Chain A
Amino acid sequence: MALISLPRPLVVCAAAACFALSACGTAEESPLGTVLGGVASGFGQVGGGSDAAPSDPRQVLDRATIEAIGQPLLTAELTALPGASLMTRVGRNRGVDSWRDSAGLGLALSDAGLLRATRGFGFDLMSSDASGTAQALAARRPAEVNRTMVYLDGELREAREIHRCRLTVEGQAGIEIVGRNHATTQISEVCSRPDGDSYTNRYWVEASGTIRRSEQWISDEVGSIRLDRLTD
């Protein structure tokens, strides 16, 4: 059985509640977090020296382990590559959560689970505004919306794109994630880019508005990322 190393959880330094200064510590130190070790990032490696097969944390995790870890967890996999990576939440700011895996790859997701930004993928989504999509997903209604996606160009300057997207409700879908069943509404979103190419995002949204599972597009070079939220 492959072992999993957890990325570090939220760091808390200056005490928010108390009045005294204290040393930095992780918010929710988990005994298991230090026990599990081994596999770095689960993303497949091409041309690298690693002989470790791409791993999928869902194959070595069970519900009891997830409960014992006691931290928010999700799995992320690039649709173009085998393997998946385990991410924990390392920050929360104004309705956007920062997630990170043990290799330092990072995602920013709205608290519902909509992708806002990526870090460390080489061709990152630097920031985005998909508030129209967020509203349609929360209401689980079809819609036509625009989203703004901010990238970098080769000179490392900002490159902005407006994508035109159409959301369609595909129907009810029951999904299972690591031994737990979820009732969701499946919604797909077809977006066209300024150069005429298009891509499709897929969301499995619960009644609470939480995006339990999704497949969301990052950039031309990286492609899409598939996310499974393992915890509530």
Chain B
Amino acid sequence: MVRTRLVVCLGISCFAHGVLAPAASADTLSQMPTLNYYGLPGLVDMPTANVMPDADLSLTGSYVDGTLRGTIAFQVMPRLTATFRYAAIPEFTPDSTPINQDYYLDRSFDLHWQILDEDSWWPSLAVGIRDIAGTGVYGGEYIVATRHFGADDRLAVTAGLGFGRLGERDGFANPFGLGNRPPRDFGLGGTVNFDQFFRGDAAVFGGVEYQASDRLRLQLEYSTDIYTAEAADGVIEIESPINLGATYDMGRYGTIGAHYLYGTTFGLSYSLSTNPRRGAFNGTLDAAPEPVRPRPVSAEPYATSWVSQPDGAPILRDNVERLFEEDGGLELVSLSLDPQRATIRVRNIRYGQEAMALGRVLRVLSVTMPNSVEVFEVIFIVNGADASRVRVNRSDVEALEHDVNGASGLMARADVEPAGRVGDPDTITIRGTTPDRLTWGIGPYVETALFDPDAPFRGDLGLEAQARFEFGRGFVAEGALRVPLIGNLSDARVVDGVEPGGPFPVRSESALYYQESEARLDRLTLSHYGRLGDDLYTRLTFGYMERMFAGASAEVLWQRVDSRLGLGVELNHVWRRDFDGGFGLQDYSVTSGHVSAYFPIFGDFTGQVDVGRYLAGDYGATLRVDREFANGWRVGAFATFTDVSFDEFGEGSFDKGIELTVPLGWFTGTSSRSEQTTTLRPILRDGGARLSVEGRLHDLIPDYHQPALEETEAMLWR
């Protein structure tokens, strides 16, 4: 498979890429494995012991005899692959109760772990579990070995031991003595099927793969999956264990495959891989920054008579604002000086890499500040609140602009401290000409619900008018109005009434909000951001926070500037909103809230635990793990367990999902603070539901703290 960067051509941005990017060289079978019909490293239906390159993210679609499978696979760590799959099987009734749908829709989740790397003579070895927590339709486990041969690993031989679905052809008694496999539980799904793993009969599968040319690969496998349930329903016929296939790598357009399966039918596959670590550019196309202006060497101390110049303050403000305007990414909130120190409050409206914003502010200060000012202090303003105070010596800025160790050198010399620890200089103080910030817009919006149990995709397209006003010291007023034009979100399933003993339908009646409104008030809130002490940040929000709830929300975050560890408390009291999307409220109200811990795990991984009360009044905890990349990508998973029992929760047993955040600049190659977050949630129900509030503190404040500035420091002089 030839692996290339995603290419986005936007006018001039192509010059560096479209033409100049080197011809991508083909990867060998071991460098980039073929992805099988389940979207995992494998042959056709069977797995191999390979893994994708670390952090790779792949989408695979496959089709055979009416059965469609779509899989997202993520290489979580160099040895661990995780997948989420959505399958549609026509006229299939695995639990023997006829369904009123053309397709049986199934969601499944797999883990694949490479235990051993291929060594000089030893094959790579992997274990995997398919359908860990679903309905178990695809439940099967394997231990598999793969060995590559020949120059450039052109030939790969695989053999494995399969259980469950993968142990059905010519199965033999369980080699580990683990006894029988209990019957599948087609209950609610969502629970881990521990009592099944590696139990029951086992069978030996295997196959070979050959790299015929740079782009063409051929596969031959012996499959131990006999599709018992599907064959019984006439979905597929199985006459032979042999599957044959060919895949062709189309470079940046993905890989297609065509296969002859089970002696009876043909199938097709398509996969596309990307990697958070390979954006459009290794850098940005943004214009070159303002050069640093070094002060002239002087034996005498620099003059300080400027402090008494009557029009000094507006001149300094205008000079800073002129260069900020040229830069296009920074806004002056205020400026305070004394003869030796300048403190600037700045809004970063453009740079996703926070160190890059810091570097550009320092450059502008070096050009504009009088020579006697030796200390620069930069305070980034987030929603009107001071995030931190970064103190840098001007001589270091001058000395390190072109230094080969200039980025890490300047960050090492900078002090990052709580904004309120020292006072601002007070000889000259002036506000920016537009210290408040109003943004508004009218445009299209797309709202989607992916992979719900009844339909793989629902969506609405409509018009949204939104406005946001940051004013005073820490106030933010914002709102959005939405008018859906076309779509099918209102077709979603509504649970009738409240199940006895079950949670109040805080989320499962969401379709009513789509059905009973024409135009709707999406949000309308007034918030205040502030500080209680050095490391204590606060947020208060009143109003209509989300579609379904309105009320008040208060949050306190304890977050040291030099640490990734944070602790937060949030308390909300909210009323359920009317279905018509207006200002009305219903009888249901609830006090919810959480104590949250945010902590680093290791490497790129961070964790979050929230313990508290959810919208249905249930008590419990949410666990969340994210892999965060320095360029702003995040891939994470979460799960919530509350005192709503799995039976009361219903299908899925508990709330869980996957979240993917992609920074816009990764696609375009120009700096932006915009990012797109997509949550894949198998089913949205009432247990473990949290209030959705814009601008939670932990999403904002740590951006300008020392760990984030150090993580992005390579862009300091960009």
By a beta-carbon cutoff of 8 Å, the part of chain A in contact with chain B is 10-14, 16-17, 19-24, 41, 43-50, 78, 80-81, 90-94, 96, 98, 100, 103-106, 108, 116-117, 119-124, 126-129, 148, 150-159, 220-223
Contact = CB atoms under 8 A, between A and B. Distances in A.
B286 A152 contact: no
A154 B279 contact: yes
A48 B11 contact: yes
B277 A13 contact: no
B17 A122 contact: yes
20 contacts: A11-B367, A14-B319, A21-B316, A45-B11, A46-B14, A46-B19, A47-B18, A48-B9, A48-B14, A50-B11, A81-B20, A106-B287, A106-B289, A120-B287, A122-B17, A126-B283, A126-B718, A154-B279, A156-B353, A221-B21
Contacts of A22: 315
Nearest to B280: A122
A222 B282 CA distance: 11
Contacts of B291: 10, 90-93, 98
Contact of B15 (A81, A93, A155): A81
B688 to A, nearest CB: 33
A13 B317 CA distance: 11
Contacts of B629: 155
Nearest to B287: A104
Contacts of A10: 291
B11 A80 contact: no
A154 B669 CA distance: 11
Tell me which of B20, B280, B408, B715 has the highest count of chain A C-beta atoms within 10 A of its own C-beta: B20
Q: Which 5 A-B pairs have the closest CB atoms?
A: A91-B291, A106-B288, A104-B287, A122-B16, A119-B288
A73 B197 CA distance: 72
A225 B17 CA distance: 15
Contacts of A220: 22
B562 interface: no
B284 interface: yes
B15 A45 contact: yes
B276 interface: yes
B281 A123 contact: yes
B288 A157 contact: no
Contacts of B404: 127-129, 148, 150
A105 B316 CA distance: 27
A152 B368 contact: no
A22 B322 CA distance: 13
Contacts of A12: 293, 367
Contact of A156 (B295, B311, B322, B712): B712
B504 interface: no
B269 interface: no
B406 interface: yes
Contacts of B712: 156
A119 to B, nearest CB: 4
A24 B402 contact: no
B371 A96 contact: no
Interface in B274-322: 275-296, 303, 305-306, 309, 311-312, 315-316, 318-319, 322
Contacts of B14: 45-48
Given A24-B368, A152-B715, A19 B305 contact: yes
Contacts of B369: 14
B401 interface: yes
B18 to A, nearest CB: 5
A126 B398 CA distance: 17
B631 A16 contact: no
A152 B282 contact: yes
B22 A221 contact: yes
B402 A116 contact: yes
A154 B277 contact: yes
Contacts of B282: 122-123, 151-154, 156, 159, 221
Contact of A93 (B368, B401, B714): B401
A49 B10 CA distance: 9
Tell me which of B16, B277, B279, B286 has the highest count of chain A C-beta atoms within 10 A of its own C-beta: B16
Contacts of A124: 283, 718
B399 interface: yes
B407 interface: yes
Contacts of B315: 21-23
Contact of B20 (A91, A126, A156, A221): A221
B299 to A, nearest CB: 15
Interface in B100-152: none
B231 interface: no
Given A16-B296, A21-B370, A104-B287, A45 B630 contact: no
A103 B286 CA distance: 10
B288 A120 contact: yes
Nearest to A100: B288
A121 to B, nearest CB: 5
Given A10-B291, A154-B5, A156-B353, 8 more contacts: A48-B10, A48-B12, A78-B20, A93-B293, A93-B294, A96-B401, A121-B283, A127-B402
